Amino acid sequence: MLKQVKTKNGWVQGLSGNNARISVFKGIPFAAPPIEKNRWRAPQPPDNWDGILEAYKFAPISVQDTPGLSDDIYCREWHVDPEIDMNEDCLYLNIWTPAKAANDKLPVLVWFFGGAFQWGYTPEMEFNGENIAKRGVIVVSVNYRLGALGFLTHPEISKEAPDAPANFGLLDQQAGLKWVRDNISAFGGNPDNVTIAGQSAGGASVFSHMGSDSSRGLFHKAVIFSGIFKNPLGDDELMTPKLLKDAEKLGETFFEYLGVNTLEEARALNACYIRDKYAAYREKYPFFSIVIDNAFLEDEPYNLALQGKSKDIPLLTGNTSDEFIVFVREEKDGTEDTDIEVASSVIEGGAKTVLNSRSVNGYYYRFEADIPGSDNPGTFHSVDLWFFFETLSACHRPFDGHHYDLADQMCSYFTNFVKSGNPNGLDFKGNKLPTWNLYSNASPFEMKFTPDGALGSLSVNSPATNRLAGQAVNPYLPSWEYIPDGEPYVFGDRVYVYGSHDYFNGHAFCLGDYVCWSAPVNDLGNWKYEGVIYERIADPLNTKNNMCLYAPDVTQGPDGRYYLYYVLDRVSVVSVAVCDTPAGKYEFLGYVHYEDGALLGQKAGDEPQFDPGVMTVGKDVYLYTGFCGQGDATRHGAMMTVLCEDMLTIKQAPKIIIPGSMYSKGTGFEGHAFFEAPSIRERNGKYYLIYSSEVMHELCYATSDRIDGEYKYGGVIISNSDIGIDSYKPVDMPTAYGANNHGSMVEINGKWYIFYHRHTHNTWYSRQGCAEKIEFTEDGHIIQAEMTSCGLNGSPLRDDIEYPAYIVCNMFTDIPHTYVGESHVPMVTQEGKDNDKNEGYITNIAASATLGFKYFDFNGVKEIELTLRGYANGRLLIKASIDGDVLAEIPLEHSTVWEKYRVPCLLPDGVHPLYISYTGQGSVSLKAFRFIH
């Protein structure tokens, strides 16, 4: 084994590791000490030395808060030693090499530790590189400056060194990479096969180097464990890089805090004094962290990645399932109610977005293992490091055999990727690892590290897995997509859905740009994201981007092109955009207007325009609009306007065709008068005008033999509270929390479906698209459709796969509520914020709550398994009908992590629903369920 190696600066002597086949070199200087004049300066080359440097022990750690003095989980886990040597002279690296000769050309892993850029060090016990090295990889761990000494910025520093004014900790890492490039071949490594890897802030470091031009060529693959890509909860002091000018102002404030006026005076201060003052400073001011300095970084690494400016190399990334837990406490009767908890992963959305932005190999993992210990820690941020480094034996936790088997798999995946950019291959025992497929938007494959080992699957929050073994479900789009007001059309061999665009947990309706989704007419579970088809700012009236795009509609004009009609939220005129294809980029065309140029909605006598529905017949275009608030006598009802072939000019002025509530008496529309959302369709020579009625939760229809003729009330097509359905419950009983409704119907392969939306997160503003098959009587009457989980599937769902809980169609308690907004009721929600592609789940399942899933074709089911978490002390009751016998009971305990509960349950053969009710204290969340034969 290599024990003495000559570097560019001199000879170093290493020792055998615990494994005699591994040589270990600790404390090799890769830069000059960053002290005195080198403080707050880019790292300088190290001095040469005479003789042989004994690289036997770790060098001092970077100046930081003394480890081991707190009672937080990280001080319990590995920052345990308050006596560890600490010094500002800290720029050293460590090497574990299995090479026998300098010409072995082994792959190289360079590791950057995490710790929010404020804490952490290479001697942490979990970072022992021996078990990676024994798999044929050279491991290099690089120390770097932290906190105020590593990331302070100040105008004097910028003036002194404009080419390196900030990010000294990242420049330290870069200096370590340059040292590896120049020296690693002497340790048996291949400088042309270098992988950089890091966790948390170390992962953010890797991401930063990928976006930095000055780091290009120093590495060839990247691994980011729980990397800080971008905080989905908004900009913050740590995760969002600061602009140089803003960071300089903070530096000036810190100098005042230190009691110094100049950079020279600050450099003369004791490093531990600076550390202690910085600890107090952090209580009032932001942390010092990454800076967009226009030298090392030109923009946020996240933005650079999405712009295609980040180094496009093989990337492996992922996160634990319980990264950062946020408990939301609500006040009830003047006291805190801790029954409600929300877990928020600030990692996963960024990781998947970055993977989707790339053109080369990308792999995603989720760590879901069971972590033992009396503190019940769950899969907390950083715990997967014990497994990737296969260092469980150094941990205080009582790991057993299956944990060690999982660590073998994870460490093997890690080293396989370091070797080739592909994690697949054999584990250390010579067994073939489960296949880890590439991740992409079209095929979002996740490798899950579970108590049962490595289990690969497609993510259930994606278009590909919304198919669920070739099936369609409700909602028909991914659970993180919020497209209400759906207008479905078949163009060619695909069905396209156009709607408005809500945000998850949004503060208002329709906050997003228009996007489009489509599916093959023969595969209605296989929805494809077509992208943004029209931006909010595309309308000349909305260049300030301060208005929303309300519900649109699309029609194919006489010229064969596609026309998008919409109304902005604060301007009651109808806008039109046009595109050559159904789902291309629409361009603004103009506003609907009279021949004299006056805009529809602004001429004397016009009523405000709202929610356009449109149909082209020959060379004429029929436009339906309107909004009638209850008690508003100024609004008369739904209007029909005829347009000319140019799609803009009015040929026939508006006329009222369906009355609002103030004018419905004696018309046949009483109790179901027009509210909003007109949409026109034709079937068998009869025209159906679909609309949202005055009670909001229902979509009704009126019919006429002429498109411009007298319309008669027909009935209710769908209620998003399921009121009016008496097949499984009393007719007036609401079994879902509804609110406003909007949609339309479409024929697909000879079958008709109604598209509508449901509400999530117990709010009006996060709506998801659903659909149900509808049936007609011989005279054209529509039979009201029941809300189901199977929707577009056309048949009951299978009983042999796991289903996500968000396909729920019934949610209610023993206190009936028709509309969303009631407190402490079950609801579908997700983690993170909008644009985080996180899987939906049900939360707030408390006493008397019932969930319904319909329908399944059961055959020989013997057990049921539910994935649950929450502060609960009670039982879940399993039934096969809303008021049926209890077929199984699941006792619950408090748990902050997702856990699987499995009990015997003989569900009856045949087509039945699944109902789950809760009795007890506290509340629980449901993520998924499956049936076992």
Which residues does the annotation mark as catalytic?
485, 676
Angstrom CA distances, 438 to 222, 427, 444, stand at 15, 19, 8
Q: Residue 413, preceding bond cis, omega within 30 degrees?
A: no
Report d(CA 376, CA 895) in Å as an integer.
8
Report d(CA 634, CA 272) in Å as an integer.
73
**Torsion angle of C-alpha atoms 32, 34, 40, 43, degrees rounded to 10:** 20
Report d(CA 429, CA 541) in Å as an integer.
66
Report strand pairing: 362-367 vs 315-320: parallel
Report d(CA 502, CA 484) in Å as an integer.
7
- Cβ atoms of 860 and 909 closer than 8 Å: yes
Distance of CA 782 to the CA centre of its chain: 39
Position of tokens 């805090």? 257
Range 599-619 burial, b when 16+ CB lie within 10 A, else e: bbbeeeebbbbbbbbbbbeee
Using alpha carbons, select from 231, 285, 235 the residue that is nearest to residue 258.
285
Report the greatest alpha carbon distance in the chain. Answer: 105
Angstrom CA distances, 787 to 390, 755, 758, 764, 853, stand at 49, 11, 10, 18, 10
What is the chain's Cα-based Rg?
31
Coil, strand or helix at 5: strand
Exposed / middle / buried, residue 535 (Cβ in 10 Å: 0-12, 13-18, 19+):
middle
Q: What are phi and psi of 11, to 5 degrees?
A: -80, 145
Report d(CA 304, CA 289) in Å as an integer.
18
Angstrom CA distances, 20 to 17, 109, 110, stand at 6, 20, 22
Structure tokens at 327: 């408990």
Q: Which residues contact 253 (CB under 8 A, 6 or more apart)?
A: 285
Using alpha carbons, select from 606, 665, 667 the residue that is nearest to residue 641.
606
